[in-house]
Amino acid sequence: MPDVPTTAATEHPVTLTEAKAHLRVEHDSENAYISTLIAAATDEAERWTRRQFVTATWDEYLDAFPDTILVKHPPLQSVTEIKYVDTEGVPQTLADTLYTVDAHSFKGRIVPAFGLSWPSVRSVVNAVQLTYKAGYGDDAADVPAAIREAILLRVGGFYLNHEDVVIGTIATELPLASRCLLRPFRVVEAA
């Protein structure tokens, strides 16, 4: 099952007005196009960092409970619910008093409450469903400035270069300043 938010963010980290100011565009004829570039740059940055920028709700599925659940799309704000299929095949909802949420860690983690362990689950695919809210906040202004600037840089690159290849010039790869801005936020998967 692909990772998709069950409730998407209601806005992007960068507004159309901010992007137009960055691009020095004063007319409205390209508003729809620039809005598409903002969406594309945001999506690219979220996928590269493996983070959710503006608040969204996610469902994640696991085949069993690991010792520690590390959410795939931090920063973790809160856990809405944890459901699982017990050994008898009956769907259950885990009481929130039975686990502890650490929303302060870099990735966000959930562990059993002190002195407890996770319940046993039936050996089936997607036996555990985690529903949680992630993001820096509900508003674009809640997103760190470096992330917002990286998105603006990508919007600028997309806007100025409408194609992947530039013909009639010397080909030179430029270091992506946007990646430098995003690198401290990137969640790297453990090997």
Task: Domain count for the chain, please give it.
Answer: 2
Beta-bridged to residue 81, according to DSSP, are 131
**Statement to judge: residues 116 and 168 lie in one domain:** no
pTM over 0.95: no
Average pLDDT score over the chain = 91
CATH of the domain at 171: 1.10.3230.30
pLDDT at res. 79: 97
**Statement to judge: residues 28 and 70 lie in one domain:** no
Average pLDDT over every residue of 85-97: 97
With CA atoms as reference, report the closest residue to 148 among 125, 171, 175, 178: 178
**Statement to judge: residues 81 and 45 lie in one domain:** no
Within-domain flag for 190: no
Give 92-106 pLDDT, tens digit per residue: 999 999 999 999 988
- The amino acid at residue 70 is L
**Statement to judge: residues 107 and 175 lie in one domain:** no
pLDDT at res. 5: 86
**Statement to judge: residues 39 and 69 lie in one domain:** no
State yes or no: pLDDT of 191 exceeds 50. Answer: no
CB 131 within 8 A of CB 58: yes
- The amino acid at residue 29 is S
Q: Cα–Cα distance between 113 and 64 in angstroms, integer? A: 17
Give 10-38 pLDDT, tens digit per residue: 999 999 999 999 999 999 999 999 999 99
Q: Give the structural domain span for 115.
A: 56-134
Within-domain flag for 191: no
- Decide which of 4 and 190 is more confident: 4
pLDDT at res. 173: 54
